[in-house]
């Protein structure tokens, strides 16, 4: 066994070494790329070009500003790649252009940090309905339109004279009405105006707020919290406005209105095939993502990065290696650039190792515990507890109708196995109204959390207070002692139609296991040490408590793929 492992490690290191040589030999002697970008993206594009050229001195990149991104202009100008925001892209004949998402930006409402009502604003969030009253009805622009503010103080609304920005705001407010306010020329003047007026509000690009040169803007300007679901409360999934850094990291996980978000694209007249173009885009989708935050933009989530690398990898088996790669970056670059034939070779070697292990087991007639055959170490549909008599919802929750007419709810065994030991829960209070599909519970493990959505609509009549002191009760007994709420249902006859009993639930959960395997295989970044916790190589088995040792970014991805998708 040890010999087989030693042989495999040697082959892997040899492959890594050979791959580096091939990649460097594939680099052109000297190539100059022409990159055009919209004016707002110039600093970002320039940072990307400078850093990439430092790592790859044989490639030169020329960055220019442009406002015209139609296919004919790009071809005539000899532009290799263009970087544009969603607004600029949509103005072009986009059906004829190739595109790839490479980052994100947002339009955020901002207020003065010295606003006397700041604490009231942050304690309730601002709903689209209230914003509509403020922006569409100048006569109602007073701070007492907010429920918790009783002072009749005027609101001064500033707006940039920019059609794209104003269109996004109008779309968010579901209005075709022209928005009136104190018009300013650009974002710098907007920020300066709000900085000097504690009773003002306005909309500004997040990137422009982060990179502004207006003195004290970072200290005295605050992003106004938005109540995404309009219920007048700060739900856990909405509470992302602690600071700009937190907001930038969390806004893209379905926690900010889509109408106020912009994608940043790389576009070209056709899909890139040139080695240098592909290598540049591969780098942007991996190492280059760090420059997005520096410039006030948000990076892609893991799934989007992997999708880009997969698409680019299919076009050309090529990667450029940096001067001082780490071990993980070598491994990441290797898997991003290897050819199909090399994948087949590696699979063959892996198969030989598995056969060797199996033969070793048979010859010694022993139970191999390191293959995770112990039910306490593996996780599959065969290890799940699925009691009869319960209704199961696709939010990974269960429902039981009591004789009194109230329903008892909790989370299913699948979810607690995936998460691992729960260290804290956040619960709603009795008397609160809940709707099916809205957040009702937060499961926390050492600072990482999942927001669970309610399987039923109604009023909370009671909650399991033992979970406050011993939240791990959910792990030990998810269907009895680990119940979470008692709820008086208000729409039971309709909602019961969407539940599943044990037999159908067992069929559905098999697909969830397949999706979980795909999630672990494709979403977890191959460059991260987190991949060490995957056990898919052991006959397709999944390690119990698989999310326990993974970072919050993976938890966010799991939230998006397995919890929020069932709203």
Q: What are phi and psi of 433, to 5 degrees?
A: -85, 140
Q: Parallel, antiparallel, or unpaired for β 98-112 and 221-223?
A: antiparallel
DSSP classification of residue 25: H
Residue of 161, 225, 216 whose CA lies nearest to 191? 216
State whether the Cα torsion 395-401-405-411 is positive or negative.
negative
Instruction: Quote helix, strand, coil % in the chain, to nearest 5.
Output: 45, 20, 35
Please enumerate in sequence order all residues whose Cβ is within 8 A of that of 120, keeping only pairs 6 or more positions apart, or say none: 146, 148, 149
φ, ψ (nearest 5 deg) of residue 314: -75, -25
- Which is it for strands 407-411 and 397-401: parallel, antiparallel or unpaired? antiparallel
What is the pLDDT, as a whole number, of residue 234? 57
Q: What is the DSSP string of 140-169?
A: G-BGGGSTT-----B-EEEEES-HHHHHHH
pLDDT value at residue 450: 92
Pairing of strands 59-65, 31-37: parallel
Contact 413, 479 (CB under 8 A): yes
> 364 and 341 in contact (C-beta within 8 Å)?
no
Pair of tokens at residue 163: 């059609």
Distance separating alpha carbons of residues 431 and 487, to the nearest angstrom: 9
Predicted pLDDT of residue 241:
56
8-state DSSP, 243: S
What distance in Å separates the CA atoms of residue 191 and residue 180, rounded to the nearest whole number? 18
User: Which residues on adjacent β-strands are paired with residue 542?
Assistant: 379
What 3 state SS string does 312-326 have? HHHHCCCCCCCCCCC
- Please give the model's pTM, rounded to 2 decimal places: 0.53
pLDDT digits (tens, 9 = 90+) for 503-532: 899 989 988 888 888 788 766 544 344 444
Give residue 476's pLDDT.
Answer: 92
Which residues partner with 460 through β-bridges? 487
Instruction: Please provide the DSSP assignment of 85-108 as one string.
Output: EHHHHHTS-GGGSEEEEEEEEEEE
What is the 8-class DSSP label of residue 560? I
The neighbouring-strand residues paired with 248 are: none
| Rounded Cα distance, 422 and 404, in Å | 30
Residue 469 CB neighbours (<10 A) = 7
Collapsed DSSP state (helix, strand, coil) of residue 422: coil
Yes or no: say if 440 and 452 are a contact pair by the CB < 8 Å rule: yes
pLDDT in tens, the chain (567 residues): 545 555 555 555 555 444 433 333 344 445 889 999 988 899 999 999 999 999 999 999 999 988 777 766 666 678 889 998 876 666 555 667 889 999 988 888 888 989 888 888 777 667 777 777 777 777 778 888 877 787 888 888 888 887 778 788 887 777 777 778 888 988 899 999 999 999 999 888 888 888 888 888 878 888 887 766 555 565 555 555 545 555 555 555 455 677 788 889 999 888 888 899 999 999 999 889 888 877 878 788 777 888 888 888 854 433 333 334 444 444 445 544 455 555 566 666 777 677 666 665 554 443 333 333 344 477 777 788 899 889 999 999 999 999 889 999 999 999 999 999 999 999 999 999 999 999 999 999 988 999 999 999 999 999 999 999 999 999 999 999 999 999 999 999 999 988 999 889 998 998 888 888 878 876 654 434 444 444 444 445 788 888 888 888 888 888 888 888 655
User: In this structure, are residues 52 and 227 in contact, taking their beta carbons and an 8 Å threshold?
Assistant: no
Q: Coil, strand, or helix at residue 424?
A: strand
Q: Tokens for 17, please give them.
A: 């070494």
What is the total residue count of the chain?
567
For residue 298, what are its two tokens?
Answer: 């948000």
Output the CA–CA distances (angstroms, integers) from residue 41 to 191, 276, 464, in the order listed: 19, 21, 51
The C-alpha R_g of the chain, in whole angstroms, comes to 27
Residue 282 and residue 306 in contact, taking contact as beta carbons nearer than 8 Å: no
Tokens found for residue 531: 């991949």
d(CA 265, CA 160): 23
Which residue has tokens 């119990």? 544
């Amino acid at each position: 066994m040890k010999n087989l492992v030693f042989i495999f490690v040697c082959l892997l290191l040899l492959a890594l070494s050979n791959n580096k040589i091939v990649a460097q030999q594939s680099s052109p002697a000297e190539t100059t790329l022409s990159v055009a970008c919209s004016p707002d993206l110039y600093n970002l594009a320039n940072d990307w070009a400078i850093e990439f050229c430092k790592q790859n001195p044989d490639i030169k990149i020329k960055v220019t500003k442009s406002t015209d991104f139609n296919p004919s202009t790009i071809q005539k100008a000899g532009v290799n790649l263009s970087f544009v925001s969603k607004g600029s892209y949509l103005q072009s004949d986009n059906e004829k252009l190739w595109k790839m998402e490479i980052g994100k930006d947002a339009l955020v409402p901002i207020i003065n940090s010295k606003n006397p009502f700041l604490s009231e604003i942050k304690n309730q969030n601002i709903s689209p309905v209230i914003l509509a009253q403020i922006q569409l009805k100048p006569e109602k622009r007073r701070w007492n339109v907010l429920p918790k503010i009783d002072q009749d103080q005027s609101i001064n609304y500033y707006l940039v004279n920019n059609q794209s920005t104003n269109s996004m705001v109008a779309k968010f407010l579901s209005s075709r009405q022209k928005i009136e306010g104190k018009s300013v020329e650009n974002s710098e003047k907007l920020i300066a105006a709000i900085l000097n007026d504690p009773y003002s509000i306005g909309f500004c690009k997040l990137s422009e707020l982060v990179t502004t040169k207006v003195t004290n803007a970072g200290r005295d300007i605050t992003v106004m919290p938005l109540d995404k679901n309009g219920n007048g409360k700060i739900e856990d999934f909405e509470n992302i406005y602690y600071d700009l850094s937190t907001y930038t990291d969390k806004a893209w996980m379905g926690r900010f209105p889509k109408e106020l978000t912009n994608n940043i694209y790389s576009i070209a007249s056709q899909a890139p095939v040139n080695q240098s173009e592909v290598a540049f885009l591969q780098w942007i989708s991996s190492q280059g993502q760090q420059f997005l935050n520096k410039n006030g933009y948000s990076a892609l989530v893991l799934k989007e990065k992997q999708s880009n690398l997969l698409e680019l990898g299919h076009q050309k088996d090529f990667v450029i290696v940096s001067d001082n790669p780490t071990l993980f970056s070598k491994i990441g670059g290797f898997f991003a650039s290897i050819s199909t034939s090399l994948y087949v070779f590696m699979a063959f070697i892996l198969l030989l190792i598995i056969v060797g292990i199996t033969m070793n087991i048979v010859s010694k007639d022993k139970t191999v515990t390191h293959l995770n055959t112990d039910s306490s170490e593996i996780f599959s549909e065969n290890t799940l507890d699925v009691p009869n008599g319960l209704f199961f919802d696709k939010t990974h929750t269960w429902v039981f109708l009591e004789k009194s007419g109230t329903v008892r709810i909790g989370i299913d065994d699948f979810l607690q196995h995936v998460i691992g030991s729960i260290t804290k829960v956040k619960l709603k209070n009795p008397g609160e109204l809940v709707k099916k599909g809205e957040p009702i519970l937060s499961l926390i493990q050492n600072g990482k959390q999942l927001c669970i959505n309610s399987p039923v609509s109604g009023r909370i009549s009671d909650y399991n207070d033992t979970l406050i002191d011993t939240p791990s009760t959910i792990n030990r007994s998810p269907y009895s002692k680990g119940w979470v709420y008692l709820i008086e249902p208000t729409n039971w006859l309709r909602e019961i139609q969407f539940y599943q009993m044990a037999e159908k639930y067992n069929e559905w959960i098999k697909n969830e296991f397949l999706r979980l395997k795909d999630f672990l295989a494709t979403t977890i970044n191959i460059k991260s040490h987190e991949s060490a916790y995957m056990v898919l190589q052991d006959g397709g088995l999944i390690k119990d408590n698989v999310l326990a040792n993974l970072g919050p970014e993976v938890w966010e991805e799991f939230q998006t793929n397995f919890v929020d998708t069932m709203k």
